[in-house]
Every structure is written in structure tokens, then in C-alpha cells.
A and B are shown apart, each in its own frame.
Chain A
Amino acid sequence: MSIKMDSEKCTGCGKCRVVCPGSLLYKNSGGKTEIRYPKECWGCTSCVKECNHNAIRYYLGADVGGKGSSLYTKVEGELLHWMIVSPDGSERKITIDKNEANAY
């Protein structure tokens, strides 16, 4: 269970470093953010939701059935778009309105 950082897209703003509940994210010598302890990641996606630059992808480890898909988010006002990316690059979007409760 973990995340992958895209150092090209990462601006080093540090918003993700603040929220990680395990304090696993650190600034590297190049000023970008890196995950120092990938195995310690809980998979809460707090960092993913903070990133405005699509620089953090969340994925399932192969040991829990991951096959190469990943997930990132886009915030648009009260809407949270969850983007699920397949290995072939195709994307599926699921949008959640923050003002709507879960059906279950």
C-alpha cells in the first residue's frame, strides 16, 4: 500500500508533508517531496487530496491485488473528483459532492 511521487510535477510546496498521519513524507535534497518509508503508508490518501498538481498517485501493492492502476484527485469547489487511471492510461472519474451524505 503506498503512493508514488512524480518529481516532475511536484513543486515542493509541502502541503502533503503537513497532513501525512505517519509523517512519512520529507523534502529531498532537490527540494521535492519524497516518501521516505513507503511500507509505512496506511493508504489514507490525505496527501493525494492535498496535491493540486496531480503529483501523487495512490496504488495498491501487488501483495494486496494491485495490477497497475492508480488514483489521484481533483478538487473543484465543493466537488471532489476521484480519477482512477488504468495501466493503459484510460481514466474513469467518480465525483463526490461534499454536501451529500453517503447512501449507506
Chain B
Amino acid sequence: MELEITNLETDILIIGGGTAGCFAAITISENAAARVIIAEKANIKRSGCLAAGVNALNAYIVKGQTPESYLAYVKNDAEGVVREDLVYTIAQRLNKVTEKMESLGLVIQKDERGEYAARGNRNIKINGENIKPILAKAVEKSPYVTVLNRVTIIDYIVKEGRILGAYGFSLDKNILYVISAKAIICTTGGAAGLYKPNNPGFSKHKMWYCPFNTGAGYAMGIRAGAEMTTFEMRFIALRCKDTIAPTGTIAQGLGAPQINSLGEEYERNYGASKTSIRMYSTVMENKSGKGPCYLKTQGTTKKEEENLYKAYLNMAPAQTLRWLENGKGPATENVEIEGTEPYIVGGHTGSGYWVDTKRGTTIAGLYAAGDVAGGSPQKYVTGCFAEGEIAAFSAVHYIQDIGQVSIPAEEQKARLASVNAFLQGEVGLYSIEEIEEAMQKIMDEYAGGISSGYVFNNSKLQVATRRIEELLVVAYQLKAKDLHELMLIYEVIDRLYVCQTLIKHLATRQETRWHSFQENADYPNKDDKNWLKFVNSRLENGEVTILLRELVKKDDNYEH
């Protein structure tokens, strides 16, 4: 099997038609006559994190709150290491993008005054089962937007620090696309599948984060020399045991506390309530022999139970199936909870591209939004919309003075040969799945996965560094028998690049700032004097090189 080149040309290429990508496309279409291509590895109707739906909008400025109070919450939750300019510019747009989604057809609950019904200080209630089809429909109606479904983008084309386009291949036809673009918005999401998952056997993909988000955007950026930030702030989600379904619906929606097997509420024993502490406290209770831990749902009414069944069907049907299959719903049995494997995801923590206030990366013409963009945790769905909108306006502005550049034929031929190399020659000793398993085992044991209680130290990280480096060499020798396997090879290679950067970041921050998320046994305490700053990195001559950067204030206009 061999791929052949097809050349395409566009003004703006959006990589990834998920939450941020679709919203960016809609924004461009409504505000400019620019030609847009969305390249999506699956199909935008149900691709990415929101495939199953979403249960609530968790970032909204409800009555009595302000963008400033949202920033204060995010800053406190992230122990001070946030890009205030990024969080604030998102917070200012949260309500506008929410209204936009309602106008596109999203059902949002209103109270008797006609205002969105709040669920706590920052959340509103919706029916988000069809949020992705709603976005896809709006994209389809957008003039000048072409969607390339089932196209996996594998690398950027960059010359002298400026973006010129990207390479990608089709899942259905033997085509290597060479896409010339004046600007690119990267919205590929974060990275799952780096660490050994909760259910490593048959249900290995029964995980919290979308398992098809394999860090392509991070990896492409790393390979192109873009600056990355805060990979050491991993995200570990507190979930319902086995089904890995969200807990927020029960904890915040119903107000159910976390209890240990003795029935004691334990979270407050570990400090003020924060995302990382909810997780860490559960790890510590289990470690001290007081597990399993639960959300205390026993005693809720049958009506509430019915509502929970419906709420979970709208985002994580496995949990409802599990309750009904067991014949015991949450009203009769507390819901056991556990932590997931660590993910890299900039919509929840600060990991991702180091961007300026306009969401420009350190490569001219390359913008980033959503889970792939760093520096601003707690974006959630609406924050990803907001960031998609900001990146869209920035890209539209940028292309005004930019001409189209065609990609030199020799360069195209060289890339074609390197992709075709995976499709030709004899199958080697190892399968793609074996490399994935090896990577997840190394990360689990030596870089703070589930089996090590999320704790690591520098000696272990040194082992992880060496082993991942060795594995990357083996991965480049893998062979694909079809286009699907070619995609799987790139997915595992991309994750190995993400692991390399992640390990270096973990080894750099000589403190423990976020329990469980970044738990360094060599430095168990927080060190504000030396580490109230960003750990950034860049791949230079094959080496992950670290740069430390200062915090950025709310009203700063940060430029590279």
C-alpha cells in the first residue's frame, strides 16, 4: 500500500473539529470571508470529548459572580500558577458564548425569572446530550467552511518560525494531504492513554477523557519547536468506580459528601476544598486503610434517583446501566469513587501550548485553543468555546497581510516517503498495542501513575526518561497493514513525545504544588519562594530544554 499526494489550499486550517474547533469555525464564518478547512480525524458530529454529551456547563458567570471572581477561583484552585490574562479573557466571554449556544439549539434550564438556573457558583443546567450534533449542524451551515472528516493531521509545515500548512492522511483513501494554510488554529484536545488506565483489560478505553484524544496537537507542536507550558500539572479525575463516570453531578448537583468505609467525611481533613485535594484526600484515605471511599448517596429520594439515571444517560450511560444492572441505585447504595490515570489536558489544568494573550503560539500564524492551549485551567466546555472565539479573531486578523505559500515539491516527496515507510516492508517484532502497553507501564511505574499512588521521584523519572526514549526508537519501526493502523502508529508516537516532555517537566519543578497531580517525593512541600512561576519547554536538537517564565497579570497583554 502506498499513499499519493493531494494538495489543498485554505486561508485558515482548523485541526480538530471538537468543542473549540467547531466554535472557532463558526466564529470565522460569521465575521470574515476567509476560507476555512476543518480537518477532523473522526466526524465532527460526534468527535472528541463531547461525543456522549455533557451534563452541565461548569464555567458560567452566575448572578452575583464576576469575571474577576471566576479568575480568583481558578487562581486559588491552581495554587497561583495561572496566566491571569488568559483566564480573565475567557471569563469575560463565558456568558456570551453560552447565549450563542442556546441560540444554536442547546437546551438550558431557566428559572421563574427567565434566567439560567444555577447549579452552584459557576454552573448551569442543560441537556447536553446533543451538544456535538448542534455544533456540527452550525458548522455545516457556515459558508466558506469545508470539513475534512476522517483525516488525521500528523505534522505542521513550518519555515523560519512561520506556519505554512500541515500534512495529514485520509482514513478511507490512499491520500496524503498537503494543506497550504496562511494560519492554523490547533484544537486537537489533550492527551489520554499516556498512563496505564484504571481498567487495563477489555475495558481499557472506559476512561474519563476521550481516548481518541492522543495528544496530536501537543506532539506536532513539540516536534515543530513550539514552547509548551505546565505539563507537570497533570489532571487526575475523581470518578465513579469502574464506569469512570463523572462525580460532579452527584457531588455538586445533589450535594453528596465524600465518605470513607467508616462513614466519616474526610475531605476537609486535607485542607481547603480544591480539585486536587478532593482527589488527594481519597488517595490518602485508601492508603491509610480506610477505603473504599464513596459519595454518600444513600437516603436520597426515589425521585432524585430517577433524575440521576436520566442525567447520566445524557453524558455517561455506563453509570445508569451499572445501577440498573446491579438492581441497586444510588438511593440504596453509596457510589464508590476512585481516581483515574493522569491525563494532560489544558481545559482542566494548565498544560499546553504557551500562548500570547491572543492565543498565538511561539510559531507565527499558529494559534491554539481549548484543551491543547496551556496556562488557563478550569476552562471546561464554555471556556473552550471562548478560547476558540479568541483564536478565530486573532487568526482572521493575522491572515490579512499574509500571502499563500506553496509547499516545495521536494519537501512533499520527502514527507510522503517517510509516511509510506510505515506501510511498507516486513512487520517487525512488536505490535502497536504492545508499544502502547509498554509506554503505559513505564509511565505508571516510574512517572507517578495509579499503582504508585501518583507519587514519583527523580530516580524513577530518570528510568522513565531512558525507557521512553528507547521506546520511541522502536515505535518508528512499526508497520501498518492499513490506514487505520497508520493512525494508531501516529497516535502512539505522539503520546511518546508528550511523555518525554511531561517527564522533563515533572523533574524540573522541585516542590509539590498540586497534590496527586504533581507529587514529587523528593520535594514534598510547596515552595512559593522559588516556584511561583511557569515551567516551560521546547524541543531543541532532540532535547527537551526547560525555560522558566514569570507569572502574567490579569490586564497584561502578553506578547512573545
Q: Across the interface, name the chain A residue whose C-beta is closest to B123.
A: A104
Question: Contact: A45 with B242, CB < 8 Å?
Answer: no
Given A19-B45, A61-B199, A104-B125, A69 and B308 touching (CB < 8 A)?
Answer: no
Q: For the complex, give the distance between the alpha carbons of A23 and B119 in Å.
A: 35
Decide: A104 and B321 in contact? CB cutoff 8 A. no
In the bound complex, CA of A60 to CA of B252 (Å): 26
A63 and B197 CA atoms in complex are apart in Å by 13
Q: Name the residue of chain A whose CB is nearest to the CB of B433.
A: A39
**A53: Cβ under 8 A from any B Cβ:** no
Closest to A97 in B: B127
Docked CA distance A2–B109 (Å): 32
What 0/1 readout, one digit per residue, does chain A (55-96) give for beta carbons within 8 Å of chain B?
Answer: 000111111111111110000000010101010000010101
Question: Would you give the 0/1 interface string for B234-270, flagging 1 where the beta carbon is closer than 8 Å to chain A?
Answer: 0000000011000001101110000000000000000
List B contacts of A1 (CB < 8 A): 199, 202-203, 205-206, 318
B187 at the interface (CB under 8 A from A): no
Q: Which of A26, A39, A42, A92 has the most CB of B within 10 A?
A: A42
Interchain CB contact under 8 A, B325 and A102: no
A41 within 8 A of B: yes
Interface residue? B46 (CB, 8 A): yes
Binds A, one of B49-57, B79-87, B393-401, B467-475: B49-57
* A-B interface pairs (CB < 8 A), number: 176
Residues of B within 8 A of A63 (CB): 199, 201-203
Chain B residue at minimal CB-CB distance from A95: B310
Residue of A nearest to B323 (CB): A84
- Give the residues in chain B near A38, CB-CB below 8 Å: 202
- Does the CB pair A60–B107 fall under 8 Å? no
Q: A21-B42, A22-B211, A103-B125 are in contact. Are A43 and B318 (CB under 8 A)?
A: yes
The reply to whether the CB of B148 lies closer than 8 angstroms to some CB of chain A is no
Q: Does the CB pair A40–B117 fall under 8 Å?
A: no
State whether the Cβ of B326 lies closer than 8 Å to any Cβ in chain A: yes
Q: Is the interface of A mostly helix, strand, loop or mixed?
A: loop
* B199 near A102: Cβ-Cβ < 8 Å: no
Residues in A with CB closer than 8 Å to B51 are: 21, 42, 44, 46
Contact partner of B205 among A23, A42, A46, A92, CB < 8 A?
Answer: A42
B 175-216 to A, binary, CB cutoff 8 A, 1 in contact else 0 = 000000000000000000000000101111111001110000
Q: How far is the CA of A7 from the CA of B212 in the complex (A)?
A: 26
Rounded to whole angstroms, the CA-CA distance of A44 and B117 in the bound complex is 27
Q: Which residues of A contact B318 (CB under 8 A)?
A: 1, 43, 60, 64
B501 within 8 A of A: no
Partner of A104, one of B108, B119, B201: B119
Q: Is B48 interfacial (CB 8 A cutoff)? A: yes
The 10 closest A-B pairs by CB, nearest first: A104-B253, A101-B109, A103-B307, A44-B52, A1-B206, A46-B46, A44-B51, A61-B203, A64-B242, A1-B203
Beyond A1-B203, A18-B149, A43-B52: 19 further Cβ-contacts under 8 Å? A19-B46, A21-B42, A21-B51, A21-B210, A38-B202, A45-B317, A58-B317, A59-B321, A63-B202, A64-B199, A64-B243, A65-B242, A67-B326, A82-B317, A84-B320, A96-B127, A99-B127, A102-B56, A102-B310
Residues of A within 8 A of B (CB): 1-2, 18-23, 26, 36, 38-46, 58-71, 80, 82, 84, 86, 92, 94, 96, 98-104
8 contacts between A and B (CB under 8 A): A21-B47, A22-B42, A23-B41, A23-B150, A40-B204, A63-B201, A65-B243, A100-B107
